[in-house]
Homo-oligomer: A and B are copies of this chain.
Amino acid sequence: MHSTSIILLGSGNVAAHLGPALKKAGYRISQVYSPNLENAAALASRLEARPVNQLEEVSPEADLYLVMLKDDALAEIADKLKLSGKLVIHTAGSGSIELLEACSSRRGVLYPLQTFSRSVPMELSQIPFFIESSVADDLPLIRELAAALSERVYEADSATRKQIHLAAVFASNFTNHMYAIASALMKDADIPFDVLAELMVQTTRKALQTAPLEVQTGPAVRFDAAVLESQLKLLTGNRDWQRIYRNISSDIQRMQVDKRKQD
């Protein structure tokens, strides 16, 4: 058993993955806090920890507080939780390290670059973790925590991490939304979504092997006005998708023109 004891604040997708992994790595999780007691209890029971749903119940005795709440809840924590002298770490990609300034002078960040869904199991060891510390002396402890979870640990300041998080929103959340629209369109055609599987996997593989701008295909990059028009027409029933189609297609063309100027 590891000597560092941890309290988790949050019971969402990130906590559901990091909590059990930390326990497996030998850390002792003493409490799980969530404003929703049921959620706290569900995760706490997997970690042999005590669930709490009042910030006043959060013990001041742990070594380390890992805050995995969404940003408006983070602000409430910052207001109400005083843990002076304790190391308080949040996991938010876009949250500055100063976010929990009011909680403690010892602050850190542990940002996993991954999309966590509670129901989808995941191997953490290859996930990049970006760490930061407000106090240089705490960096080894944060690094140790990250290294217990993953082989890929990088230091990054708050500005760099915010930029990485923004890139991740495009590469993951927005990509997934393109899949959601494609899935709805396939349903309209009465064809199973997974007929697109090879195409999706190959698109990702090509982008990583070469560079996305080099391997773009399709009507927009071919400036194929006839197909662009006919596809916009197919989307007549959904103005939001039409707008997205139009904006992305013209941005594909703009970036391609810029690229050719530079080549």
Contacts and interface: CB of A to CB of B under 8 A. Distances in A.
A87 B151 CA distance: 57
Give the number of times this chain occurs in the complex, counting copies.
Answer: 2
A216 interface: yes
A164 to B, nearest CB: 6
B209 A120 contact: yes
Interface residues of A, number: 98
A218 B220 CA distance: 28
Nearest to A216: B176
Given A173-B216, A216-B180, A234-B166, A119 B199 contact: no
A25 interface: no
A188 B175 contact: no
Interface string A200-229: 111110111111111111111110111100
Contacts of A208: 193-194, 197, 200
Nearest to A92: B227
B183 A113 contact: no
Given A210-B119, A212-B180, A128 B198 contact: yes
Given A199-B115, A201-B204, A240-B254, A248 B166 contact: no
Given A113-B196, A113-B198, A244-B248, A71 B224 contact: yes
B203 A176 contact: yes
A210 to B, nearest CB: 7
Nearest to A215: B117
A119 to B, nearest CB: 7
Given A72-B224, A183-B213, 18 more contacts: A113-B198, A117-B215, A119-B214, A154-B195, A164-B186, A169-B218, A170-B178, A170-B182, A171-B196, A171-B203, A172-B200, A173-B217, A174-B248, A175-B175, A180-B216, A183-B207, A193-B208, A247-B247
